[in-house]
A and B are shown apart, each in its own frame.
Chain A
Amino acid sequence: MNGLRQGWLVARRELRERSRSPAFRASVVLMIVAVVAVLILPVLIKPGGTRNVGVTGSAPAALAATIVQQARAAGTTVEVHRYPTLTAGERAVRQGHLDVLVADAQRLEWRGKPDDQLKAVVTGAIQLATVRDRADAAGISRGALAALLAPVPVTSVQLGSVPGHGPGDETAVLIMTAVLFFGISVFGQMALTGVLEEKASRVVEVLLARIPPRTLLAGKITGIGLLGLAQIGVTALAALVAVAVVPAIDVPAVRGAVLAWALVWFVLGYALYATVYGALGSLGSRVEDAQSVAGPVMVVIVLAYFASFAMIGQPGSVAAKVISYFPLTAPMAMPGRIAMGATAWWEPAAAAVLTVATIAGLVHLAGRIYTSSILHTGPALSLRDVWRRRTASAGAIEASAHDAEVRRQPVDVTARESTEMTGTDLATHRVLITILAGAGVVLGAAVAVFAHDVIIGVAAGAGFTAVAMQMVKLWTRHTGPPAAHR
């Protein structure tokens, strides 16, 4: 019986049980519906078909014909209706029969927000018709007028922020980064609740009597990861089908290599965060502990996402380079840089190696945290508790094994020490928080000066402080009022 086979059994159970749950099936269907809707809706909403324009009051004779002409030139069809009175015309607009009413050839009346394209068409037509009327009055010949009014072709080009990559590419990268963020946080949290559920239902003791804790954690993360890949795959397949069936869908072209890298980074990002989540999950005792335990990691993931998001426009900047190498942000930042063509061929590989090394370290650390806290019951542990327990030097903590028996006895004094703060602890804690806040301000100011941008400076300072505070919380679990004891 080897660990690999046991790990696979664990992973297979996750796959089977989770894919069977109604909640998961509903989420798969919802994802598909949402993605397909996002693809198809713009096609449906896209202005098309015949627009209705009403004309009332005094107007140049040729106005109706000119409007139709101009519309044809702009690629739409317009039907012009004549209304005897302003009231009748306005009623038609209010009832939705007309898109716009031209009153006295000088006022456009809309039901809501003006449609820019139609507005341009109608305004141009009014100008043209009026100029023609005036030219006739001034005795200018039709031929001379045509020469005067011959259109000058003006084209527009979308440059985007990076040479060779238009705004369509940026949209694609935006979507890709969002999908990575979504996938990593959703499936990472699934690993967290999975660990907590096993702990809360106490099945974990039965399991750990048969398999080593690391195998259990690794199998769980693998199973949920495979499930995540499957869900993303199914959704992508639905999107491809939608694109194939409805040719009008406007999809930014993304190269295959970029997609392959995105997949690799999803796996790496998920592995990294799920490992952390899984280890932290073992600190809690009940499913309700999930939020407090997950908070710090969530802050880090959200910040990593915002940073990657903000850097899409400047993939060549130093900041973008840094976050695309830093293992916690790389999974969301690097795919964007690859897609924007801002990386040398070896850069993604180097960042991937760095991330894999970090994952290896985290797996080791997570295994230790998980192993030493998974059998603990009672109030949620802090990382400091776990550390103390590992080193076994301080006598403040009772370990899990004994809790079960000792909890019923009045001997429990020691357990309480670990979660209630003493006076000196509180003082140290306040000092620590002040120092961290100060460091955040200093860092923010430095970044602001360096980047010549106050907003980036504030963001960096606030981000640092938030992460640092969350880490302190995780370490001591003492930021709030003392937790209630069971």
Chain B
Amino acid sequence: MSLLPAQDAGLLLPELGLGQPGSSPTRRRHTARDGPLVPRSQFVGPYSPLPGPAIVGVRVMGMLGFDGATKRFGALTALDRCTFAVRPGRLTGFLGPNGAGKTTAMRAVFGLVELDVGTVRWRGAPVRAADRTRFGYMPEERGLYPRMRVRDQLVYLGQLCGRGPKDVARSVDTWLERFGLAGRAADRLDALSHGNQQRVQLIAALVGEPDLLVLDEPFSGLDPIAMGAMGELLSGLSAEGATVLFSSHQLDLVQDLCQDVVIIEHGRIVLAGDLSELRAKVPERLVEVRYRGPAPDWSRLAPGAVVQQAEDGQARLRVGGDTDVAALLAVTRDRADLVSFSYQPPTLSELFRQAVAA
């Protein structure tokens, strides 16, 4: 059972014919003699209209779009015709194994990586330097000036976004207050604890009051409480209308937080779109059962049921998406002394594993 090919999912553009569902999943090594992966002309021209009225509205408010983004480093293809969109007002999780191309894609937004083919668009037009002053970025490799005072460097970074010094100072003070760092404003950064340095790094991304926030693994290295706070912050920002893209390996967290996900593997977008739609579209469901007493033969519970796990009073099975839930519950109750019963679309972890393994 394979998942839908990327083109059919949510926001992708079938008319560009960018994905290659049938092609081998292993990374092909290109040499210089191969020439560009895709003829350049294919990506020239106006941004291909995304289907659906919602998208039109989105474009007015601000939206980030990758349009056939391709980047090769020598023989290695880091981004292979990536096409997806990040919408405002929704948190977008950017997922993929290490080395899949997440950082490269995020760097491309800021011009830190020059694309070989394709463009990154903001509100429909290729990103310009002026747009970037309205973007906030937290790179995967954190870094600020270790010997510069916290407030000074945040004001400096804010001013680099083109805002006036007073305006920036006010915003910096507000953020420092909010993160409980107001008392450390005059300290050198390297005098702060690791956790506080992380907070300063986050403020550095936020201080320009960006319309677009790109965060490379913002949750890595955080304790559970800080993770919760970070999640709330990101949800809050996106609810205020910001466009937020962040990468993460914590799939449960992404499932809880994000409305949209983009999954990349070997430089290719393998899945992208509304998370609940993506989950709903998968033609199978997960049934989780807790029970007391002896275990029944789970595989005969429903036609086509596959037992994933069965031990110590709990079982997890996969059934078809068209299963009658009420009937299934009734049958289960007959066979076992039921404690709990859940019937759900597959989790994001499941989706991710299947998409990446495909």
Contacts and interface: CB of A to CB of B under 8 A. Distances in A.
B159 A395 contact: no
A392 B104 contact: no
Nearest to B136: A209
For the complex of A and B, the 10 pairs showing the least CB-CB separation, nearest first, are A202-B143, A1-B162, A395-B74, A209-B110, A395-B75, A209-B137, A205-B139, A399-B73, A401-B113, A203-B143
A291 interface: no
Q: Which of A208, A210, A211, A399 has the most CB of B within 10 A?
A: A210
A105 to B, nearest CB: 71
A203 B154 CA distance: 12
A212 B129 contact: yes
A432 B262 CA distance: 51
Nearest to B135: A209
Contacts of A21: 147
Interface in A379-429: 392-399, 401-402, 404-406, 408-409, 411, 414
B1 to A, nearest CB: 29
A9 B160 contact: yes
Interface of A: 1, 5-6, 9-10, 13, 16-17, 21, 198, 201-212, 375, 377, 392-399, 401-402, 404-406, 408-409, 411, 414
Contact of B98 (A206, A210, A395, A405): A405
A59 B76 CA distance: 99
Contacts of A198: 145
Contacts of B21: none
B99 A406 contact: yes
B75 A402 contact: no
B107 A401 contact: yes
A214 B353 CA distance: 42
Contacts of A404: 103, 140-141
Interface residues of B, number: 47
Contacts of B111: 212
28 contacts: A1-B133, A1-B162, A5-B162, A6-B162, A9-B156, A17-B148, A17-B152, A202-B143, A204-B143, A205-B112, A205-B137, A205-B141, A206-B137, A210-B160, A210-B208, A392-B74, A395-B31, A396-B74, A399-B74, A399-B113, A402-B76, A402-B78, A402-B104, A404-B140, A405-B101, A405-B104, A406-B99, A414-B75
Contacts of B225: none
Interface of B: 31-32, 71-76, 78, 98-104, 107, 110-113, 129-130, 132-133, 135, 137, 139-148, 152, 156-157, 159-162, 204-205, 208
B99 A411 contact: yes
Contact of B74 (A9, A211, A398): A398
B103 to A, nearest CB: 5
Contact of B104 (A206, A394, A396, A401): A401
A198 B110 CA distance: 18
Given A204-B143, A405-B103, A210 B133 contact: yes
Contacts of B145: 17, 198, 201, 203
Contacts of B156: 9, 13
Contacts of B99: 402, 405-406, 408-409, 411
Given A377-B141, A397-B73, A208 B110 contact: yes
Given A202-B143, A375-B112, 16 more contacts: A1-B130, A6-B160, A10-B160, A203-B144, A206-B205, A208-B112, A209-B139, A377-B141, A396-B74, A398-B76, A401-B78, A402-B99, A402-B101, A406-B99, A408-B99, A411-B99
A171 B101 CA distance: 62
A206 B74 contact: no
A14 to B, nearest CB: 11
Given A17-B148, A201-B143, A203-B144, A401 B71 contact: yes
Nearest to B27: A411
Contacts of B147: 17, 21
B71 A209 contact: no
A207 to B, nearest CB: 7
Contacts of B142: 202
A282 to B, nearest CB: 14
A209 B142 CA distance: 13
A8 to B, nearest CB: 10
Nearest to A388: B74
A211 B112 CA distance: 10
Contacts of B129: 212
A375 B99 CA distance: 17
A331 B156 CA distance: 34
B220 to A, nearest CB: 13
B78 A1 contact: no
Nearest to A404: B103
A401 B74 contact: no
B32 A211 contact: no
A21 B112 CA distance: 31
Given A205-B112, A208-B110, A405 B102 contact: yes
B175 to A, nearest CB: 15
B139 A206 contact: yes
Contact of A395 (B32, B162, B208): B32
- Which of A13, A198, A212 has most B Cβ within 10 Å? A13
Contacts of B159: 9
A16 B151 CA distance: 14
A395 B162 CA distance: 39
Contacts of B103: 401-402, 404-405
A23 to B, nearest CB: 11
